[in-house]
């Protein structure tokens, strides 16, 4: 096959990679993108999008179950519902397929050349790709590594059989009667909650002393309460030891040292993700590493001139929207624009029940910074819109400096609060002060009013609480 030469080669067509390639194409940069899978990466194909589809289906099913039980206070009654998970998965796959096609169309419109196959470095300017039609050599002035991440496998619970990762969990065609989830982080709790709503008996096994340990306890307390309502058993301070010899039970070491056998149909391992740094010839490069991750500077530059790295392969936070922002920035840098990168305004969202949003500093983190802070909190129990949606459990909280009221962080927990993430991120990005948020007219009645009310609370002049 004839060799390809280009100004920019992007390795990996996940959220960071395809956004980088599209933006580069828009800027007139001769761009090639390589991936062995369909465009969209983990997020689109086996992560963010399919998991949210499953979560939505589970929420709808759970709502109908409550209506059928006669426990609805809305006066609505319906017949006994059923769930056909195979049809749900088919619907989910349809969404993924539509989005795959959409990304491919966007790349084509930006005049980006797509090469299907697995890229491997020969040197810092050259890669070889094994395609369906043969070996393709690509030479590039600039290369962006966007190879993403993969689920972490436990040595005592290797994937296979009844032990599955999030990828397999999103393709199950029947709801397991019982499910053990190893890891109480956001992936485990999102999927565990969904399967509990679909009718599975779910047990969460978390090694630390509480679930969602990366979020402050005031936010996660509501999630724990909802898990108990759903009948989910949460074992904290517990460790999964492996499957019993017969293979029909998971052995768990409880916090008090007892060994507990859990009879489960499936074991879902969600103990984190690792960067994909093997299989594409990293040994041919002289890249500085930060533990298992590729070390990058503020402009996502690596230790080798002309090579950049973005997304999960560069470390935490492993978020699709972080990778997208990095990809866009790198494309503009290669085009000669002056760009920088600041991760302080990246929102993190847990699509648990209730949802959690956090951007910037939590109160404890702000206090550790050394200065005095103001914290304004408005509960949804005082929100008219939350009452009408039967979603009163939760709050919006704003953290600001005491001296000049500069907003340092915003957090929320409650039904549907993920849709407030954009407003929270914008406030930090624009350097808002409490007065800016308080002085912005928020539409009534909406849950977004809680943002304004929290800022007013921080100023000591709350109106509705």
Report the alpha-carbon distance of residue 328 to residue 322 in Å, rounded: 10
Burial class (CB in 10 A: 0-12, 13-18, 19+), 24: buried
Omega of the bond leading into 317 within 30 degrees of 0 (cis) = yes
Phi, psi of 307 (to 5 degrees): -115, 125
The length of the chain is 465
Q: What is the Cα 312 distance to its own chain's centre?
A: 11
Task: List the catalytic residue out of 66, 367, 405, 444.
Answer: 444
Those residues whose C-beta lies under 8 Å from the C-beta of residue 393, and which sit 6 or more positions away, are 222, 225, 226, 354, 380, 381, 414, 415
CA angle 127–45–272, rounded 5-degree value: 85
Those residues whose C-beta lies under 8 Å from the C-beta of residue 270, and which sit 6 or more positions away, are 151, 165, 166, 181, 182, 183, 185, 187, 188, 191
- Residue in the structure block whose two tokens are 């979603």: 391
Q: Give the relative orientation of helices 48-69 and 186-197 as an angle to the nearest 10 degrees.
A: 40
- Residue in the structure block whose two tokens are 């609370």: 457
Are 238 and 183 within 8 A, CB to CB?
Answer: no
Judge whether 444 counts as a catalytic residue.
yes
User: Among all residues, which ones are annotated catalytic?
Assistant: 444
């Amino acid at each position: 096959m004839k060799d390809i030469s280009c100004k920019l080669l992007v390795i990996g067509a996940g959220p960071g990679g395809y956004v980088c390639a599209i933006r580069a194409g828009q800027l007139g940069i001769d761009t090639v993108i390589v991936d062995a899978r369909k465009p969209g990466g983990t997020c689109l194909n086996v992560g963010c999008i399919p998991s949210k589809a499953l979560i939505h289906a589970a929420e709808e099913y759970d709502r109908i179950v409550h209506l059928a039980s006669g426990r609805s206070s809305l006066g609505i009654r319906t017949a006994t519902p059923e769930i056909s998970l195979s049809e749900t998965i088919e619907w989910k796959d349809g969404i993924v397929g539509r989005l795959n096609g959409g990304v491919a169309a966007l790349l084509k419109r930006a005049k980006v050349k797509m090469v299907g196959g697995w890229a491997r470095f020969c040197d810092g300017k050259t890669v070889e790709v094994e395609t369906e039609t043969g070996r393709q050599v690509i030479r590039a002035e600039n290369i962006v590594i966007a190879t993403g991440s993969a689920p972490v496998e436990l040595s005592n619970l290797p994937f296979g059989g009844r032990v599955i990762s999030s990828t397999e969990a999103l393709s199950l065609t029947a709801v397991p009667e019982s499910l053990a989830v190893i890891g109480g982080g956001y992936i485990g709790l999102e999927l565990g909650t969904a399967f509990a709503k679909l009718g599975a008996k779910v047990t969460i096994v978390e090694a630390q002393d509480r679930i969602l340990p990366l979020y402050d306890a005031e936010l996660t307390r509501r999630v724990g309460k909802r898990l108990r309502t759903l009948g989910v058993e949460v074992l904290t301070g517990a460790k999964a030891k492996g499957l019993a010899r017969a293979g029909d039970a998971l052995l768990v070491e409880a916090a008090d040292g007892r060994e507990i056998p859990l009879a489960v149909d499936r074991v879902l391992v969600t103990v984190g993700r690792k960067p994909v740094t093997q299989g594409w010839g990293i040994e041919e490069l002289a890249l500085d590493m930060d533990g298992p991750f590729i070390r990058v500077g503020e402009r996502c530059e690596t230790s080798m001139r002309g090579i950049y790295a973005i997304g999960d392969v560069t470390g935490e936070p492993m978020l699709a929207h972080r990778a997208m922002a990095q990809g866009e920035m790198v494309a503009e840098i290669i085009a000669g624009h002056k760009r920088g990168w600041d991760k302080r305004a990246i929102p993190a969202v847990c699509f648990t029940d209730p949802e959690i949003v956090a951007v910037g500093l939590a109160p404890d983190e702000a206090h550790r910074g050394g200065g005095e802070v103001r914290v304004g909190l408005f509960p949804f129990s005082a929100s008219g819109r939350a009452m009408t949606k039967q979603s009163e459990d939760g709050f919006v909280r704003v953290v600001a400096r005491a001296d000049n009221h500069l907003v340092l962080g915003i957090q929320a927990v409650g039904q549907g609060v993920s849709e407030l993430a954009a407003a929270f991120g914008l406030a930090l990005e624009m350097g808002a002060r409490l007065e800016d948020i308080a002085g912005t007219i928020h539409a009534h009645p909406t849950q977004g009013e809680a943002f304004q009310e929290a800022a007013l609370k921080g100023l000591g002049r709350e109106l509705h609480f």
